[in-house]
Structure formats: C-alpha cells, structure tokens
Amino acid sequence: MQELLYLVIPCYNEQEVLPETARRLAQKLGGMAAAGTISPHSRVLLVDDGSRDGTWQLIQQLHRQNPLFSGLKLAHNRGHQNALLAGLMAAKDRCDMAISMDADLQDDVDAIDRFVAEYQAGSDIVYGVRSSRASDTPFKRNTARAYYRVLGWLGVEIVPDHADYRLMSRRALEALSQYGEVNLFLRGIVPLIGLRSSAVAYERHERFAGQSKYPLKKMLAFAIDGITSFSVKPIRLITALGVVIFGASLLCLGWLLLTKLFGYTVDGWTTLMGSIWALGGIQLLCLGILGEYIGKIYQETKRRPRFLVEEFLQSGDIPNIEEDAACSKEDQ
Ligand code: UDP
Ligand code: MG
C-alpha cells in the first residue's frame, strides 16, 4: 500500500510566495502520486500562523481549486515553531509520514523524493541537512557555526545545519505529541525522541519572494530558547563562577590585610572601583540567566495551549493531478 504523505507548511504573511510554492508542491506531489511513490490522498497542509495579509484567503482559494491543499488557521500569530507543531499535530492522525518545510521555497522541493526513500528504507525521522551555507550572509554563517558549537558544549543534542526541514513518521509524531513543553525548540526535541533516523543533504536557496519573518531579535530569542530549554549548564556555570570569585575575594582579603599590616595604605581607588563594577556586572548577568530559567518555569506551569485552531479546511476528495497548475498566476 502506498503511504500517505502530508507536507506541513507554516505561513506567516507569505502572500507573495505562496502561489509559486503551491504550484511547485502540487507539481511535486502530483508527480510522486502518479509514479506510485506516495498515496494519491497525500496533502499539502498550509498552516496560517495568524497572518495579517491575504495568506488565508489564498489558502482558501487553493483549497477550493484543488483538494490537495488543506488549510489550518491559527487564531493568533504564535510563531514558527508553534505553527509547525499545530500542523504536525493535525497531520498526525491522518498520515503515515509528514514533512515540514518553510513556505518560502528555501528548502529544496526536490529533496522530498529522497526523504520518502529514506522513510521507505526504515527511517522514522529524516533530517534535511544543508550541504552548504553559501546562501547565508557571513554574519549568519559564523554566528550559526558558533551557536552549534556552544550547544554541543552545553550538552544539547542537535543535528548541525539542520533547520526544520524534516520528515517524521506517524510513530515519531505520536512521540512528539507527548512532549508538553510550551517553550518549543523542535530541533532540540526531535533528536530526544530517538527511533531510527537518517539525514538527507540539500541545497538551501535564497527566499523566493517576500521578506524573512525572523529579524535578529526573534532569532536571538530563538537561540536563547534553544539553550535554556535543554541545558541547565548555564546555571551550574553561575555556581562555578560564584565559587571562583569567592576564592579570589578571599585571596584579595588576605592581600589587603597584609598591606594594611605592613603599613602600605595604598589609595586603591582604581582597584576598588574596578572590582565594584566587575562584580556588579557579573551579579547582574547571573541574575539575568537565573531569571531566564525562572521565566521558563513560570510559563511552563501555566500550561497554556500552544496554539488555538480557528478553522480547518480539509477535503476527502482525491486531488486531481492534472490540475496541479490550478494555483498559477491567474488565481492570485
Ligand atoms: N513563520 C511562521 N510564523 C512566524 C514567523 C515565521 O509561521 O511568526 C514561518 C514563515 O512563514 C516561513 C517559516 O516560518 O514559512 C520560516 O520563516 P522565514 O523564512 O521568515 O525565516 P528565515 O528562513 O529567514 O530564517
Ligand atoms: Mg526562510
């Protein structure tokens, strides 16, 4: 029996790129269904993450034209990770495997065949790994590399150069649904699931149209989430730092007493001011790190829903493969 594939695409203000993305995905899935690689009931699930532009109208239109497209509308903008989770959870009971990818065509659509081949060879999770970072700015490339190194050092198990382009089997999705955390960092959670996994290398392109929805501020918040959701090492570092500084201050005290005893009452203004500032800074930094974890605990204890579905569009009809051009220019 052919296996049913869901492509889960989070979309936030993606009206510029969505028609082209839909066209290419319809072509791809149509081709695969025709070749018998996947079930003809396979779907593209477009998750509207509370967009403010015409994204949802576009999704409705695509759904009307071709049953291949399903739509899920979140009541608010909940961010990429939550939108992705919402889509994966909607797909969980309807598919045999789900592939998550971005709406902007940065992820190579042609890698889907290799994902499915890995799945058929027995993998429950297939990670899409970027073969090069040539399409990134040097800033992003270097910060990403340093970030992966820090994560590894902190003991967070993560697949380097893997974003959220991945295939998960129904079994893996079932496991994912049992992770109840509110601070989502899927790249950290998925490797925790275990099961059999493999990787597929792909070339990441430039965004096809529209603008990145990840400004530096959001990216930093995401990076901090990745560390604080998976590692308590920073807190331990604070303790270690405290011990070192306490030791140093004891030495300093001894030295002060000695100088006092031998009569050198040095004016010591610089040292004094220096240490006040340095210690103040370190204390604030440590408080900040602690606060970060306490904030996390606060959010987790509230157990708020991670997303709220406003509408779900799904048709039981078999998609018409010939109609895959249905979402071309004239529909925009
Ligand atoms: N996205 C989302 N909600 C958000 C921000 C982004 O669903 O609040 C989606 C976006 O539509 C895209 C994917 O997440 O499909 C990745 O975003 P983007 O391409 O802007 O990030 P970048 O590739 O620049 O890191
Ligand atoms: Mg992108």
Which amino acid appears at position 231 of this protein?
S
Considering only residues 96 and 230, tell me which one the structure prediction assigns the higher pLDDT. 96
Are 156 and 275 within 8 A, CB to CB?
A: no
Q: pLDDT, tens digit, for every residue of 145-163?
A: 888 888 888 888 888 889 8
Q: How far is CA 265 from the centre of its chain?
A: 58
| Res. 5 pLDDT band, cuts 50 70 90 | very high
Sign of CA dihedral 249, 294, 176, 178: positive
Q: pLDDT, tens digit, for every residue of 23-57?
A: 999 999 999 999 989 999 999 999 999 999 999 99
- C-alpha 247 to ligand 2 mean position (Å): 48
At 264 the pLDDT is 67
Q: Helix 269-302 crosses helix 216-228 at what angle (to 10 degrees)?
A: 80
At 325 the pLDDT is 42
Which residues form ligand 1's pocket by a CB distance below 6 Å? 10-12, 14, 49, 77, 79-80, 83, 102-104, 106, 212-214
pLDDT higher than 50, residue 332? no
At 330 the pLDDT is 40
At 271 the pLDDT is 75
Which atom, in ligand 1's list, is nearest to the CA of 9?
15
- C-alpha 144 to ligand 2 mean position (Å): 15
Q: Where are the alpha helices (DSSP H) in 138-196?
A: 138-153, 170-176, 186-193
In testing the pocket of ligand 1, which one of 106, 214, 217 has its CB within 8 Å of the most ligand atoms? 214
* Nearest ligand to residue 140 Cα: 1
pLDDT higher than 90, residue 81? yes
- C-alpha 186 to ligand 1 mean position (Å): 14
Mean pLDDT of the chain: 85
- C-alpha 138 to ligand 2 mean position (Å): 16
Q: pLDDT, tens digit, for every residue of 172-220?
A: 999 999 888 888 889 888 998 888 999 999 988 887 888 888 778 888 8
Mean pLDDT of 254-276: 75
Sign of CA dihedral 223, 225, 231, 232: positive
pLDDT higher than 70, residue 327? no
Tokens (6 digits) for 180: 């109840």
Single pTM value for the model? 0.78
Percent of the chain past pLDDT 70, that is, above it, reads 94
